Structure 1
Amino acid sequence: MNIEILQPKPFDIVGSTIMIAGNAVGFEGHLSISISEGHVEFSGAASAGAIALRQFQAKVEIPDNPNFQLDRLFVTVTDDSAGGEGVIPTVHVPVFYGPRILPGYVGYRNYTVAPGDTLSSISTAQYGDPGQVSVIQRANAHLIDDPNLIFSGQNLRIPIA
């Protein structure tokens, strides 16, 4: 089976309800879905139909206080019906878990870095508190290695609660 995950995209910020959608090609198209950060795992299932390209979708609910130790999660989709020899088709998509980054997370707004901006000035403008720099950095960990190095024109996600 070939599996293509269309939602979520790599490095998306997800909430407590994670919607997974994509396409799959295979014989008996039963898919297992797991959400894990290496320590704690939640799972679900989806069906992709049989012997053709089929769309699939599923929803995994993460309970309150899941005890995740990391902001980064992996959405994993595996073809359970792949039998026989060889590698079982599996796709992993890294995402960020918004409720761990910002308690009460409900979404994010986009922000384009302007000349002269710093994470501290963005934090003050967005949250009224320069101490929220880590929230912005964690939500954009795939873009920001050093909080002192952001660039004009960068598109950042500002989590909102």
Structure 2
Amino acid sequence: MTNRIDQPHKLDLVGNPVRISGIGTGHEATLQYRVGDGHDEVTGHFSVGGGAGEHGQFQVQADVGRAAFKLDRLLVQVFEKSPKDGSEINLVSVPVIYGPRIVKGYYGYREHKVVKGDTLSSISKAFYGDASLFNRIVRANPDQISDPDKIMPGQVLRIPIGS
């Protein structure tokens, strides 16, 4: 094993700061992180392990509040810089959904289990008071909703909540 990201999980709905944790090892006990959408990114580094091949736990908070992200989907990456040439090695990546791009003042989400007769518009009306805001739910659940006209009883949807 080289590096592993345990949090966030694939397509988790995250806010600011993005909390990154896992297990890793790096040259001189240093690893790098990057959180970005291809338009902007936030980077940093942290210490892990003993520096001579030992693995250790890590937990960092990436403050992405000033980033100018244009997309909902971000890529969280952890990697080591090669001592030979400075290239990125042992890179691990996790795609996530950035809640503050979906709702202003994002602080978390509620879960809604779809029942027979539900529509995204009716769910949006119940949670936001406005049926036309159903796209927020679609954006927060890209792994579950490929067609906004087709949700199924039993699906558990994330409903992003903000101020």
TM-score normalised according to structure 1 size: 0.91
Q: Tell me if 1:52 matches 2:93.
A: no
Q: Which runs of 5+ in 2 are unaligned?
A: none
Q: For residue 42 of structure 1, give the secondary structure of its aligned residue in structure 2.
A: strand
What whole-Å deviation, never above 9, does each CA across 1:105-151 have from its counterpart, x for those lacking one?
11101111111111111111111110111000000012111101111
Aligned to 1:19: 19
Q: Tell me if 1:40 matches 2:35.
A: no
Q: Is the 8 A contact 2:31 2:78 kept in 1?
A: yes
Q: Is the 8 A contact 2:79 2:88 kept in 1?
A: no
Coordinate RMSD, CA, aligned: 1.8
Q: Is the 8 A contact 1:29 1:79 kept in 2?
A: no
What whole-Å deviation, never above 9, does each CA across 1:26-85 have from its counterpart, x for those lacking one?
553311001110010111212112232210111111124x321110000010112x4348
Aligned to 1:31: 31
Structure 1 residues 101 and 87, CA, compared in 2 at 3 Å: closer, same or farther? closer
- Aligned residue type for 1:144: I
Structure 1 residues 26 and 33, CA, compared in 2 at 3 Å: closer, same or farther? closer
- Aligned residue type for 2:61: K
Q: Is the 8 A contact 2:80 2:88 kept in 1?
A: no
Structure 1 residues 26 and 17, CA, compared in 2 at 3 Å: closer, same or farther? closer
CA distance in 2, matches of 1:130, 1:26: 49
- Aligned residue type for 1:153: G
Q: For residue 88 of structure 1, give the secondary structure of its aligned residue in structure 2.
A: strand
TM-score normalised according to structure 2 size: 0.90
Q: Is the 8 A contact 2:23 2:57 kept in 1?
A: yes
Q: Tell me if 1:151 matches 2:152.
A: yes
CA distance in 2, matches of 1:75, 1:100: 16
Q: CA deviation at 1:87?
A: 7.2
Q: For residue 142 of structure 1, give the secondary structure of its aligned residue in structure 2.
A: coil
Q: How does 1:94-109 map to 2 (within 5 A)?
A: 94-109=95-110
Q: Is the 8 A contact 1:11 1:94 kept in 2?
A: yes
Aligned to 2:113: 112
CA distance in 1, matches of 2:14, 2:137: 15
